[in-house]
Structure formats: C-alpha cells, structure tokens
Amino acid sequence: MNLTPEIREKLWSFASRTSFQSDYLIQVQEWGKKIDPKKYFPPHVTELWLELGSGWGEVAIQLAEAFPNTGFLLMEKKIDRIKATEKKRKERGLENIRYMTLNFQWFFSELMETEMFSTVLINFPDPWPKAKHWKHRLMQEEFLTNLHAIIKPEGRLLFATDYGPYARKTISMFRRLNHLFKGSTEVAFERPNFPVSFFENEKREEGKRIYYLERTKVTPLGSY
C-alpha cells in the first residue's frame, strides 16, 4: 500500500489511540518497533490465528471456544464491532482472544513480526464490485506477498466470498503467486464443520453461492 506521510500518520493515530480500551486490546506504541503477538496471549496458547475483518466476532468466538489452546488475534476497524465481540468474549470467559483496531491493509509489512500465524482467516472482505474501486480490494498481489511473510511455514490462508468475480480474480492471483501459496483444490463451495457468521448465513439464505479458497504457504528456500 503506497502511503503519503499524512495517511500514514492518520492510520498510525487510529491504531495507537483508539477510544476502545481493554486488557484484551493490543495497541501499537512505538513507531518502527515490530509486534510479537505471542507476548500478549496466556502461556497455554501454543499457536496463533489471525482474522482480518472479524466483524461482530461470531466466527472467532466459536473457534476460540472450540480451541482453547489457540490464540485468535482479530483485526477490525469498526470499534462498535470490536466492542460487541468483547462483550461475547467476556460472557464466555474466553482468554484466547485479542484485538487490534486498525486498517489491516497497511499493517503487516511495517508492524508485525514474520512467521507468526498458523492460519489467517479472511471471511467476506468488502468486494468493491466496480472496476474503478478494485484498488481498494484486500486481495491484491502486494497484500498477499506481505501476508505470506507473517504466516508460518506450512501455515494456511482461508478466504471466503459470496462474490463470484472476486473469487475468480483471487484464484487467478493465487495461480500467479504459486511460488508463495499452493492449494490442492482451487475452490470449494462448502466448508463443513466451520462456524458461520450472521453475514454468511444471510448470504446463504439469499441463495448465494459461497466460494471458499484454502491455500498453504510455500516457503522459498533461504527466506526470512
């Protein structure tokens, strides 16, 4: 993401000075200092998942309940959605969820340590259907390259969308990036035994086809 100094300052300010305060929030503090997310989770947490655009948190809450030894880092820019997720986390007494309130398109290359996450989950990112808005889409080659760096060797990237053209563009992108990500199936239309958010459920009830993409990180020799 190419940033002017003004936009960079704005994004930094948003990530470092959010109105939401909680012991479960990870806040960036020092410019240039990379974050090691493991440090923010209890010692019994042995692996980390990252969810980008966690929305109201239904999926992460169910996963965190099912896998108490996995830590779930949720990135979401809408504070009301983080607050709603935090309410659910507290009611269930889950200790394996943390939040970051930031614009994740900018975040990775500058602030996150490499090879941190065993799974990255991207469910229903905004599809930006008009061609003139495609530049705002999350799934871009530069973004996927940055994402590759923060995924552990053999770690997974799970992506879901109900928007066919976005799914097809992403599949083509993964074909081009086959030195970074591989998958045994290009696309699936079911994802059994996986939690479903309110948003996903709505799309299913409307009769929309859901495209699920799963890729595994390819680790180039001598990298990182």
Ligand X SMILES: C[S@@+](CC[C@H](N)C(=O)[O-])C[C@H]1O[C@@H](n2cnc3c(N)ncnc32)[C@H](O)[C@@H]1O
φ and ψ of 50, to 5 deg: -120, 130
| Interface of this chain with ligand X, residues 182 to 211, rule: CB under 6 A | 197, 199-200
Shortest Å, Cβ 1 to ligand X: 10
40 binds ligand X (CB under 6 A): no
* Residue 126 falls in the annotated catalytic set: yes
Among 103, 109, 114, 219, binds ligand X (CB under 6 A): 103
**Is 130 assigned a ligand-binding role in the annotation?**
yes
Rounded CA separation 103/15 (Å): 8
**Is 113 assigned a ligand-binding role in the annotation?**
no
162 binds ligand X (CB under 6 A): no
16 binds ligand X (CB under 6 A): no
Residue 48 contacts residue 118 (beta carbons within 8 Å):
yes
Q: Please, which residue, 70 or 219, has the CB nearer to ligand X? A: 70
Q: Please, which residue, 195 or 219, has the CB nearer to ligand X? A: 195
Among 53, 139, 211, 213, binds ligand X (CB under 6 A): 53
**Is 69 assigned a ligand-binding role in the annotation?**
no
* Total of residues contacting ligand X (CB under 6 A): 18
77 binds ligand X (CB under 6 A): yes
**Is 162 assigned a ligand-binding role in the annotation?**
yes
Among 55, 64, 120, 163, binds ligand X (CB under 6 A): 55
Q: Which residues of 79-94 are buried (b: 16+ CB within 10 A; e: fewer)?
A: eebbbebbebbeeeeb
Residue 20: half-sphere exposure toward Cβ, Cα within 13 Å: 24
| Interface of this chain with ligand X, residues 110 to 149, rule: CB under 6 A | 123-126
Sign of the torsion angle spanned by Cα atoms 122, 136, 81, 207: negative
Q: Is 115 left (phi over 0), alpha (psi -120 to 50) or beta?
A: left
Name residues whose C-beta falls within 8 Å of residue 123's C-beta, 6 or more positions apart in sequence. 51, 53, 55, 59, 158, 159, 160, 197, 199, 200
Active site residues: 126
Contacting positions for ligand X (CB under 6 A): 53-55, 75-78, 81, 103-105, 123-126, 197, 199-200
